[in-house]
Amino acid sequence: MGSQPDWYARGLGHVWRPYAQMKTEPDPLAIVAAHGSRLVLADGRELVDGIGSWWTACHGYGHPHIREAVERQLQLMPHVMFGGLAHEPALTLARRLVELLGAPFERVFFSDSGSVAVEVAMKMAVQAWLNRGERGRTRLLAFRGGYHGDTFATMAVCDPDEGMHALFAGALPEHPVLDLPRDEATTTALEVFLEAHARELAGIMVEPLVQGAGGMIFHAPEVLRRLRAAADRHGLYLIFDEIFTGFGRTGSMFAFEQAGVRPDIVTLGKGLTGGTLPLAATVASAEVAAAFWSDDPGHALMHGPTYMANPLGCAAANASLDLFETEPRLDQVRAIARQLEAGLSICRGRPGVCDVRVKGAIGVVELERPPDLVALKARFAEAGVWIRPFGRTIYLTPAFTISPDDLSALTRAIDQVACQLAR
């Protein structure tokens, strides 16, 4: 494989790597380019990307329409502060998102990461009550298996036991965490809790249909309908965190469409720019926005990231929305779902495999026991694929434009590598 590039050897010791014990975990792969569904390594190898760069690259890498839109915007204005100024890419994107989401959405708050978008949603829900003169509604109801981000506020609404932030338990504000209302018992438990504690809550937060980083845990649309009904009964804001599920990943443009209900606040990110540039959005209903519309300056939402509504990111997002309108993305997701089901079904019944599940362009093989993740990732790379499992969960979230041959390489690698190691 040859020696590593000079930039790699000189710089690796100075970066803090994500989700990694840097003393013991193997060094990362040096990557020099990406195209379509392929990652090009410095040693000349190409890996089929099964993760889509943490679920963002829905159109594949280097789509010319997005690249050209970013290049045009770069010539005009790469960035300008959003405080006191406005620009066409952001205002056009805000209008398009509101039209795409439909009623009751009205206002878009732009940020630069999913964690911040969720934190803004939490802040909106709490302050909306404060602006209306109700104090004490400072907590959000969250659910086991959930993941909403890595900032201090969002860590506090992740799964407190199974999530990756348990270390911070004593340092985080406490929010109630229940089981999702999947059946009669858990639905009753939710209602009993709300009857006793609803007036302490600003709202309810959930990842619709799929709890992503918490383990790719699926739930039925009926769960969302129960949460909408519970929120309405108790006058609570309902927040759908669609950072992972939005923009086609579950088979519809937004996951909530499959339940026939809408939240009061929705968070968007990941695929918003097609994996091109950092951008996220928190979109609020007219009712939520009305709580901030006031002659009192203290009722303003005092939040504003430095790179809020970055013009390059907004240009990329507008181009990404163009592609959803002009290219058959949802048809491609349906085809991926069929191929994932066929390709991963062979893992059902394999020793060490406890579940195989598919939802849209998400394929999951869950093992009975956590494997040797270091060995597993290395074996995947040797097999010519980039798959990054966590815990007992091996998953695929490929680009919607992936070829059938590349997708077959991914499913075949899971069966031949992961299922063998699980035995």
Catalytic residue among 241, 264, 359, 395: 241
| 143 DSSP β-pair partners | 178
Assigned token pair, 258: 């499959």
Known catalytic residue at 270: yes
Closest alpha carbon to 147 in 136, 161, 133: 161
Cα 403 from Cα 74, distance rounded (Å): 31
Catalytic residue among 49, 61, 264, 270: 270
Q: What are phi and psi of 125, to 5 degrees?
A: -60, -45
Catalytic residue among 49, 61, 112, 147: 147
Instruction: Kindly write down the DSSP assignment for every residue of 375-404, as one continuous string.
Output: HHHHHHHHTTEE---BTTEEEE---TT--H
Q: Could you give the angle at the alpha carbon of 248 between the alpha carbons of 244 and 250, nearest 5°?
A: 65
Cα 33 from Cα 62, distance rounded (Å): 10
Strands 139-143 and 46-49: unpaired
Cα 25 from Cα 135, distance rounded (Å): 47
3-class secondary structure, 90: helix
Cα 423 from Cα 415, distance rounded (Å): 11
Cα 203 from Cα 263, distance rounded (Å): 11
Cα 59 from Cα 37, distance rounded (Å): 9
Cα 298 from Cα 301, distance rounded (Å): 8
Cα 79 from Cα 279, distance rounded (Å): 13
Decide: residue 372, CB within 10 A, 0-12 exposed, 13-18 middle, 19+ buried: exposed
Residue appearing with tokens 């206002």:
107
Known catalytic residue at 23: no
Known catalytic residue at 147: yes
In this structure, are residues 221 and 360 in contact, taking their beta carbons and an 8 Å threshold? Answer: no
Give residue 32's Cα distance to chain centre: 25
Cα 263 from Cα 103, distance rounded (Å): 10
| Residue 142 identity (one-letter amino acid) | A
Active-site amino acid positions: 19, 147, 241, 270
